[in-house]
């Protein structure tokens, strides 16, 4: 190798834009990381698209997500990261993490109405709608 020759780094300008992956069928759900357990295991909060609410708002069941083998070295999971999960047939509370969304894809899912923020739920625990009080009229 010749002397005084430096290696060139690859340019980050040619990064590919990922296509947005939506849920497919009744076996897949959107989820959000609530706790990192280690060993590629996470406590997750599952979004129920039938009720348009996160499961933690009306159910005290703990769900666990396991990161798929090919995603283990490619993704970095943090709290409140949104992902696409698939429910296992033989275990009720365990989901497999299929796809992890970046921040831009998370905003697109919010804009398209596929998910809502956790605090944006409009229904109470009993299923009724919440009452809005306008204090300016009092």
pLDDT tens digits, one per residue of 70-120:
888 888 889 999 999 999 999 888 999 999 999 999 999 999 988 888 655
Q: Taking residues 19-38, report their average pLDDT.
A: 90
Q: Taking residues 56-75, report their average pLDDT.
A: 83
Q: Taking residues 16-40, report their average pLDDT.
A: 88
Which two tokens mark 107?
Answer: 């905003």
Please check the confidence at residue 31 and state whether its pLDDT lies above 50. Answer: yes
Q: Which whole-number Å values give the CA distances from 134 to 10, 109, 119, 120, in the listed order?
A: 57, 31, 19, 18
117 contacts 69 by C-beta, under 8 angstroms: no
To 5 degrees, how large is the angle CA 91–CA 95–CA 96? Answer: 120
> pTM for the complete prediction?
0.71
Question: Homologous superfamily of 26-119 in CATH?
Answer: Nucleic acid-binding proteins (2.40.50.140)
Average pLDDT, the chain: 80
Buried b (16+ CB within 10 A) or exposed e, 16-40: eeeeeeebeeeebbbbbbbeeeeee
Q: What is the pLDDT of residue 3?
A: 73
Name the nearest CA neighbour of 81 among 120, 137, 31.
31
- Name the least confident of 7-16, 24-33, 70-79, 111-120: 7-16
């Amino acid at each position: 190798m010749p002397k005084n020759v430096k290696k060139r780094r690859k340019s980050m300008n040619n990064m590919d834009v990922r296509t947005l992956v939506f849920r497919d069928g009744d076996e897949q759900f959107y989820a959000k990381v609530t706790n990192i357990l280690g060993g590629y295991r996470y406590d997750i909060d599952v979004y129920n698209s039938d009720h348009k609410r996160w499961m933690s708002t009306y159910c005290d069941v703990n769900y666990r997500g396991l990161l798929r083998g090919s995603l283990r070295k490619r993704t970095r999971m943090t709290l409140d990261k949104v992902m696409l999960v698939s429910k296992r047939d033989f275990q009720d509370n365990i989901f497999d993490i299929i796809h992890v969304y970046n921040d831009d894809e998370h905003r697109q899912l919010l804009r398209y109405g596929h998910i809502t923020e956790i605090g944006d739920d409009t229904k109470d625990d009993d299923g009724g709608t919440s009452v809005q009080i306008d204090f300016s009229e009092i």
